[in-house]
Amino acid sequence: MPSLSKIKENFANTFHIFVPSEQLESSSLARTRIVLIVVSVTTVATLFLHLLRLNTVIDSDEYFYKTAALTIINHSPCGPLSYLASLQPCNLEHPPFAKVLMAASILVFGPGNLGVRLPSIISGVLSVPAIAWLVWSLSGGSAKTTLAASILLAASPTWFLLSSVGMLDSTQLFLGILALAVYFSKIGRQSVRDVLSGVLFGLSILSKEVGVLFLAGIVIYELLFGRPRRLLYPLIFSALTIFAGLWIYDLIFTPFSNPLQHVLFIVDTGLRLRYQGGFLLSPLKWFFQPREVILVALFFLWVPAALLMIRGKRQQRKSSEGLLPISLVLLLVTLVPPTILFYLNHRQEYLFYEVQVLPALVLGASGFLGWRRAPWYALLAAVVASMYLFAFYFPSLLSVYF
């Protein structure tokens, strides 16, 4: 039979009471150190695997963005402005920031795969510590939840594939995740974090226009859960960042008379991308693809939990800050708009378009697995299964279209 002192010690370690502050600080420091080590190892391993596949031929839109980056290097003018401009070297259907980064990389490393793909690879790799930071802040420093998020994201075949090629999505998503991490961080003054997150949201949108969905998620989240005044700085500085970026780019390369004309052109071009035959994919079919079966299976567990949590907290008039509520909001804003456009506007969809929902799925899954009542072996099983699926699909990640 265990002694009374031993029972008291176990109880204290579980519920963080009757424990001297020095012991708690030591325990917290140990957990932080473990998280830093695991996230660092995961990040380095992800970089190594990307470099291993650097010269792999992958069916993607990489050619269009490489061509656009070369026009920036060569100071080639763009125009005339028409729907067919998307077929021109400048790739005017998307904002320029990610292509500017690619151009800078090509200037340093040349027009080969390293120069073209390096910005996407770095963005994908840095997304691992970025989402770990975000989850650490939202979960109150939960080591289990943070480790789940970093490993689930790194082990996502779809995420890894999109980060392997010279496309816009990886940079846009990394900046969006980093903006969320800064916004929800507890480090420094809130006003500074709000300004910085606004700049990062703006750069995410400047990389690819769908970055606006992450900003919309924050707006909806704050309107629902009671801090709408905090939206002022993020909205102002994201708008200023977008305006300044487009104004500088248009001044050098395009015949757009002002940034608003450029924005309207991007929106109009996006709405014109309609189904013309070939492979038709509904955004909802993404949930039936086998290579993300772990995240999809966890989706059916954490969404009901998030709905119950939001309902309970709103009834009690408590703040719903936490992983599950923000995960649900981000899931809705990244999934519902493309689904509506698909069914009402017959918009053409490809599998890689739905990579936008992955951060929400990872956040929700990690929040559920890191729940204090969730058994530790559930987390272990999810991590092992995700790593196995990643290893299984790793050799076949050769096309972003299916």
Residue 55 is predicted with a pLDDT of: 93
Q: What CA–CA distance (Å, rounded) separates 49 from 286?
A: 25
Residue carrying structure tokens 């929700």:
364
Q: Which two tokens stand for residue 31?
A: 């957990």
Q: What CA–CA distance (Å, rounded) separates 104 from 118?
A: 10
Residue 355 φ/ψ region, left for φ over 0, alpha for ψ in the -120 to 50 degree band, beta for the rest? alpha
Question: Phi, psi at residue 165, to the nearest 5°?
Answer: -120, 160
Residue 9 is predicted with a pLDDT of: 46
Instruction: List the chain domain ranges.
Output: 66-77+88-396
User: Which one, of 204, 124, 134, 119, lies nearest residue 156 by Cα?
Assistant: 124
Residue 44 is predicted with a pLDDT of: 97
Question: Phi, psi at residue 399, to the nearest 5°?
Answer: -150, 135
Count Cβ atoms below 10 Å from residue 47 Cβ, excluding itself: 16
pLDDT in tens, the chain (402 residues): 555 454 444 433 433 333 344 443 456 788 889 999 999 999 999 999 999 999 999 988 999 999 999 999 998 877 666 555 445 688 888 999 999 999 999 999 999 999 999 999 999 999 999 999 999 999 888 899 999 999 999 999 999 999 999 999 999 999 999 999 999 998 889 999 999 999 999 999 999 999 999 999 999 999 988 788 999 999 999 999 999 999 999 998 877 888 999 999 899 888 887 776 555 567 777 777 788 999 999 999 899 888 887 766 544 433 334 788 899 999 999 999 888 888 887 777 777 888 999 999 999 999 999 887 788 888 999 999 999 999 999 988 988 876
Question: In 3-state terms, what secondary structure has residue 33?
Answer: helix
User: Which one, of 105, 118, 122, 23, lies nearest residue 70 by Cα?
Assistant: 105
Residue 69 is predicted with a pLDDT of: 95
Q: What CA–CA distance (Å, rounded) separates 334 from 177?
A: 13
Q: What CA–CA distance (Å, rounded) separates 261 from 189?
A: 36
Q: What CA–CA distance (Å, rounded) separates 248 from 180?
A: 26
CA end-to-end span of the chain: 59
